[in-house]
Structure 1
């Protein structure tokens, strides 16, 4: 066949990818907190159930795609203005599917004003084997504001015996108070993963891990509350410390269900002790 008649090589199909955006702001109006400034684009949706008695105003994040794939990007912006008290959570655990090469990105920015209490309490993120996931959380806290936040990760679909044997994970936190960087944290797991999970000085066979932070006043009380839970949950490795205006607690465990229970109990105890809220989290956590 003449050279000029050679058919071109077929191109790989261009796959559809999600680029979801969600923006939400809470304001205190006449002694009541209300959600304002809502913006959302697929696959991000916010639901607003009626608050349970004595609970903050809730907003529930839903990703309508049913999970995230390589190349998807989610960008959230959450803000609580002066005096607002609110909880933002997720409807269920988030799934990050195996990637063909691209990275799934989840970017969250949080702003908390003086006198505001904001809870960012997403349920766990499940990393399928082969997932590539990068998550960043940037917090801008005003003096007198407080944020209670968690991030949980489960390594593989444990009910079917899957582990996170290849892929990539990147977690980044940045916390600024009055515009000044006061705490930064980064974690990266990349191939080869097996030695990292096997090492006693690494993840030591963990099935799941979590980070809990309390930013703002009350760090010592929050640390003591988490340590009380740690004494009652010996199957989960828990450490908590205070650095400046942030209390950081780490959770590591070989049983994802036990770790989740320890995180829920810790969050409940911290919010009750510092904000006078119920130790029982919203019902979505117990479904």
Structure 2
């Protein structure tokens, strides 16, 4: 190359991870029917505790996500299948040099299937840019317990998220069409997170979603425990928390244990991955 040729701009290597999981009911209980995984995402299958369905542990081998990284996640439960999905640790989104980190998730539940989507918290470093989209489709009689938690900055280090962006979208569909839609958009997080009529300086936020006939009873139970819980429609419970990261995590953990017992007939405890 001639010495006077212009230098080409450097390009950073980006992660493009994916996984697909498929579970089906059988005479031996729920079994794994399909597995595809692409680095840096990996799925592990620890032995479930007594009384628990098959558990999948989601692991990001890269140790975190940077701007421009992309993840595609898909889970399908056939009719009557049951499963629990957790992350092995909190997910970290580092400061971006410009591009967004894109996370696309699709959950598909057949008739009478039961899925717990229980990732641990996502930690947004100052300057992180996240665009996350969740789509869940439920057939007749399917039940879904889903949790998401965001931490705005590295709370343990005293860091707050002041720059960057967040877009977090949910679409939940049932046999008759759209059941619930929601989206969070933060383009100036430093201002919106501290605004008294915004997030009021909260370090973190969390959401619990339950699609099950027991939704009304669980709403009353969570309200007694201090959660902001409501029924967007019959059979659908939505609970939210704002506050310190440790306080919100403890409250969400207690809610998960209570809802697992009251709505899913499972032991009133967190999945083991949350407590390791």
- TM-score (ref. length: structure 2): 0.96
Aligned pairs, how many?
274
Deviates more, 1:154-163 or 1:174-183: 174-183
Give the Cα separation in 2 of the matches to 1:228 and 1:7: 72
Checking the alignment, whether the CA contact within 8 Å between 1:140 and 1:179 is kept in structure 2 is no
- 1:158-183 Cα distance to aligned partner (Å, 9 max, x none): 11111101000000000110161121
Give the Cα separation in 2 of the matches to 1:65 and 1:194: 28
Tell me how far 1:21 sits from its aligned partner. 1.0
> What secondary structure sits across from 1:268 in the alignment?
helix
Tell me how far 1:239 sits from its aligned partner. 0.9
User: Which residue of structure 2 aligns with residue 243 of structure 1?
Assistant: 232
Tell me how far 1:19 sits from its aligned partner. 0.8
User: Which residue of structure 1 aligns with residue 209 of structure 2?
Assistant: 213
> What secondary structure sits across from 2:46 in the alignment?
coil
User: Which residue of structure 2 aligns with residue 225 of structure 1?
Assistant: 221
Distance 1:6-1:42 versus aligned 2 partners, 3 A rule: closer
RMSD: 1.4
> What secondary structure sits across from 1:11 in the alignment?
coil
The answer on 1:121 being equivalent to 2:118 is yes
Checking the alignment, whether the CA contact within 8 Å between 2:206 and 2:242 is kept in structure 1 is yes
Give structure 2 stretches of 5+ with no counterpart. Answer: none
Give the Cα separation in 2 of the matches to 1:195 and 1:19: 32
Give the Cα separation in 2 of the matches to 1:7 and 1:214: 63
Tell me how far 1:214 sits from its aligned partner. 0.5
1:136-147 alignment, distance < 5 Å:
136-147=133-144
- TM-score (ref. length: structure 1): 0.92
Give the Cα separation in 2 of the matches to 1:221 and 1:164: 36
User: Which residue of structure 1 aligns with residue 174 of structure 2?
Assistant: 177
